[in-house]
């Protein structure tokens, strides 16, 4: 079905073109459309000879305010089908026409910029949208495309500049994007061993988006690097109320802080509360590991038995077997424990809520759809 619809696209475009021609002829087109040539162009499209079809249609239609939309529609069709070179050539031919009005030229230039972006020619696209940015009518779309270009090129300071401009020209705040962009600059500063500058950008990111998990984690990591585990722990504990789904991402940092501060009781209490509040294997495993470390075997066994009766789960079964290894059924239990050790690991994976892209690595900027902050833990 998909292939059939794809094959019908040229016919739909040609039919739309023909309908427009019929409406415009002869008064508006001045009788310039030759039926034989038109059907020849249609035949080229139906036989997927798009190069020849472009030539025919461009020659048939005089470029004016009425017909330029037909040319642009053809260009969009080619770009959407991945035939970017043909779209570029069509739009370049249009721009070369001296009779184009300035407003129409800007519209065509915008389409050519989109062609270049689709083709990965970001330098050419940048030059076009920098020109379009000066035209008030095209400023919003040009600003958005320049922001996209600078993100793809990882020119983070320029991306921050244009994200801010986008807020101004559209009146729509961009806290998530701006926060992540500041985190990107901070990450780059960290690679340069400039912790002070990095911390400033991280704080700016938090100010822009107080709910930013990424910025808070980065700040906690910097504080831990400075051996300020108390301040880091305060930040990490406060993050639970921001988004529980990300607890598995930074839980190991939180437990490290408890250990460095020598607070085993507080650690166990924290994990108990977390276990009751946040589901998932990472949290469950951390809590049970702490129980085994700090509580008597009998207490751990009773707890695990109760939990297994309520909800059978491999995460609970493995530590149960580990605790019970000294029973009379040691050999059998030890074998089960070894098998479970091999097949059960707490792995976190992430899925983009916008496009569905999945990965075992957390991408703050989705590699598939380029959206910021849409990747969420899905298996914890």
Q: What is the mean pLDDT of each run of 10 residues along the chain (380 residues)?
A: 42 48 43 56 66 64 62 80 84 82 88 92 95 93 96 96 95 95 97 95 97 96 96 95 90 97 95 89 88 86 79 74 69 64 66 89 90 82
Contacts of 137 (CB under 8 A, 6+ apart): 103, 106
pLDDT of 327? 64
The residue ranges of DSSP E strands in the chain, in sequence order, are 349-352, 358-359, 375-379
CA distances from 172 to 50, 146, 175, 179, 280 (A): 41, 17, 10, 15, 36
CA distance 267 to 229: 13
CA distance 269 to 350: 28
pLDDT of 143? 96
pTM of the complete model: 0.75
21 with 49: CB under 8 angstroms?
A: no
As beta bridge partners, residue 372 has: 365
Contacts of 278 (CB under 8 A, 6+ apart): 240, 244, 247
pLDDT of 226? 95
């Amino acid at each position: 079905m998909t292939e059939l619809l794809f094959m019908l696209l040229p016919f739909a475009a040609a039919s739309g073109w023909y309908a427009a021609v019929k409406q415009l002829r002869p008064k508006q087109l001045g009788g310039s459309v030759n039926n034989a040539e038109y059907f020849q162009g249609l035949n080229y499209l139906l036989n997927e000879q798009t190069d020849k079809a472009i030539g025919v249609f461009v020659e048939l239609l005089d470029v004016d305010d009425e017909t330029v939309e037909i040319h642009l529609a053809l260009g969009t069709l080619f770009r959407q089908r991945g035939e970017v070179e043909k779209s570029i050539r069509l739009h370049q031919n249009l721009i070369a026409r001296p009779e184009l009005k300035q407003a129409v030229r800007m519209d065509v230039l915008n389409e050519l910029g989109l062609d270049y972006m689709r083709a990965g020619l970001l330098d050419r696209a940048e030059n076009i949208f920098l020109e379009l940015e000066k035209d008030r009518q095209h400023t919003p779309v040009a600003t958005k495309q320049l922001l996209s270009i600078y993100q793809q090129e990882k020119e983070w300071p320029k991306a921050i500049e244009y994200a801010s401009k986008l807020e101004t020209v559209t009146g729509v705040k961009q806290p998530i994007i701006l926060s992540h962009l500041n985190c990107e600059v901070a990450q780059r500063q960290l690679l340069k061993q400039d912790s002070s500058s990095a911390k400033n950008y991280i704080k700016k990111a938090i100010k822009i988006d107080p709910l930013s998990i990424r910025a808070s984690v980065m700040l906690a990591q910097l504080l831990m690097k400075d051996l300020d585990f108390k301040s880091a722990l305060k930040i990490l504990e406060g993050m639970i109320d921001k988004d529980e789904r990300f607890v598995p991402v930074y839980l190991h940092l939180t437990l490290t802080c408890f250990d460095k501060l020598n607070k085993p009781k507080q650690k166990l209490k924290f994990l108990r509360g977390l276990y009751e509040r946040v589901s998932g294997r990472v949290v469950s495993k951390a809590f049970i590991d702490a129980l085994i470390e700090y509580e008597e075997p009998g207490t751990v066994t009773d707890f695990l038995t109760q939990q297994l009766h309520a909800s059978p789960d491999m995460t609970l079964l493995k530590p149960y077997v580990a605790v019970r290894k000294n029973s009379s059924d040691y050999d059998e239990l030890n074998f089960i424990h070894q098998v479970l050790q091999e097949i059960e690991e707490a792995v976190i994976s992430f899925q983009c809520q916008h496009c569905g892209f999945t990965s075992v690595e957390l991408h703050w900027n989705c590699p598939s759809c380029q959206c910021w902050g849409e990747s969420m833990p899905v298996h914890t």
